[in-house]
Amino acid sequence: KKLYGAEPQAAPLWLTPPGRELTHAAALFGLHYEAPTSVEAIANATARALRQNAPTLLHLRVGPNSAAELRERVLARLAEDQG
């Protein structure tokens, strides 16, 4: 179930518009910014962020329904394992 499924017109409030970059927003607040695009890059960016003595904005792009789809796969697998 989508977080915004009950009110589709609310989707723009929950989803980052495609093509938007957060570099300027990070700069406005003096934040370090990274937008890793792979699992390895996310791990490296997270490690760098934790080593710094300053806040970091990690912009992780995922599909608009990826959390719901993952949840469904996990629940289906659990049902199979108990079945």
Question: What's the pLDDT band for 78 if we cut at 50, 70, 90?
Answer: very high
pLDDT score recorded for residue 83: 72
Query: Could you tell me which residues are beta bridge partners of residue 66?
Result: none
Q: Which residues neighbour 58 within 8 Å (Cβ) at sequence distance 6 or greater?
A: 34, 35, 36, 42, 45, 46, 49
pTM (global) more than 0.85:
no
3 state DSSP class of 23: helix
State both tokens at 29.
């607040």
pLDDT (tens digit, 9 = 90+) per residue, 3-54?
Answer: 556 677 777 766 666 667 889 999 999 999 999 999 999 999 999 999 998 9
